[in-house]
Amino acid sequence: AAGVIQSPRHLIKEKRETATLKCYPIPRHDTVYWYQQGPGQDPQFLISFYEKMQSDKGSIPDRFSAQQFSDYHSELNMSSLELGDSALYFCASSSGLAGGYEQYFGPGTRLTVT
Amino acid sequence: DQQVKQNSPSLSVQEGRISILNCDYTNSMFDYFLWYKKYPAEGPTFLISISSIKDKNEDGRFTVFLNKSAKHLSLHIVPSQPGDSAVYFCAASSPSGTYKYIFGTGTRLKVLA
């Protein structure tokens, strides 16, 4: 069965650069969630989208922005990168907000900021 | 302030025995709970869920128990297999309209052959 696809899987950037992470949800899933997992930490919710509209917002820095496109894929844009942004970024998808109790995760994008 | 806690960072169990992973939470508004399994370099994989209207949910070798009065849930794996070796996260969600899960810190389970 098709799963959540994230690209790239690994990304190395320097401080103050920008990065764009992409997430392709499971087919027919219309809700996307972004989580950040720092080293040795639990995943922290960043932001979610339902039907191309932001549905909820967590601890996402102002330097980050995200959107969901008409094909339901989502992109997380990160600017003025800092060393502390180095983390594993997970995207999850679900079928509708009501179906969000079962979120299916992608393999993650490991971002390293040097 | 950690609202979801897994106090055991690691657990070792002999193959064939029962693995019990514990999770405590502080927010009584949480009404849906998940357990995820995570292998290195992979995303979390959904294992089993439980709604706050239940106290037990079973799926094959996996059973989750919920004790609302104690704000405690546990995952039982019987019998444990070497392939179960992974990091297990519990996650909780409150009825805010969107399911933004709050994760515990994870327990690394090692099943010894």
Nearest-CA neighbor of A23 among A11, A12, A8, A37? A8
Give the minimum alpha-carbon distance from A71 to chain B in angstroms, rounded to a whole number.
21
User: How do beta strands A64-68 and A44-50 pair?
Assistant: unpaired
Per-residue pLDDT of A74-106, as tens digits, reads 999 999 999 999 999 999 998 876 666 678 889
pLDDT above 70 (res B101) = yes
Q: How far is CA B37 from CA B42, B60, B63, B109, in A?
A: 10, 15, 14, 10
Q: How far is CA B73 from CA A13, A98, A110, B13, in A?
A: 40, 23, 30, 19
Which amino acid type is present at position B39?
Y
Question: HSE (CB half, 13 Å, CA atoms) of B29?
Answer: 9
A-B contacts (CB, under 8 Å): 67
- CB contact (8 A) between residue B100 and residue A45: yes
**Which residue of chain A is at minimal alpha-carbon distance from B38?**
A107
| Largest separation between any pair of C-alpha atoms in chain B | 44
Give the minimum alpha-carbon distance from A15 to chain B in angstroms, rounded to a whole number.
24
Chain B partners within 8 Å of A5 (Cβ)? none
Nearest-CA neighbor of A114 among A79, A81, A77, A65? A81
pLDDT above 80 (res A1) = no
- CB contact (8 A) between residue A56 and residue B102: no
Give the minimum alpha-carbon distance from B31 to chain A in angstroms, rounded to a whole number.
10
- CB contact (8 A) between residue A97 and residue B97: yes
Per-residue pLDDT of B4-47, as tens digits, reads 999 999 999 999 999 999 999 998 888 889 999 988 777 888 89
Q: How far is CA A62 from CA A54, A58, A68, B82, B108, in A?
A: 15, 11, 17, 43, 33
Per-residue pLDDT of A15-61, as tens digits, reads 999 999 999 999 989 899 999 988 878 888 899 998 899 988 888 99
* Bigger pLDDT: A66 vs B41: A66
**Which residue of chain A is at minimal alpha-carbon distance from B43?**
A107
- CB contact (8 A) between residue B49 and residue A101: yes
Nearest-CA neighbor of B75 among B60, B86, B90, B92? B90
Nearest to B43 among A56, A102, A106 (CB): A106
Mean pLDDT of the residues in chain A: 91
Cα–Cα distance measured from residue B14 to residue B80, given in angstroms and rounded to the nearest whole number: 7
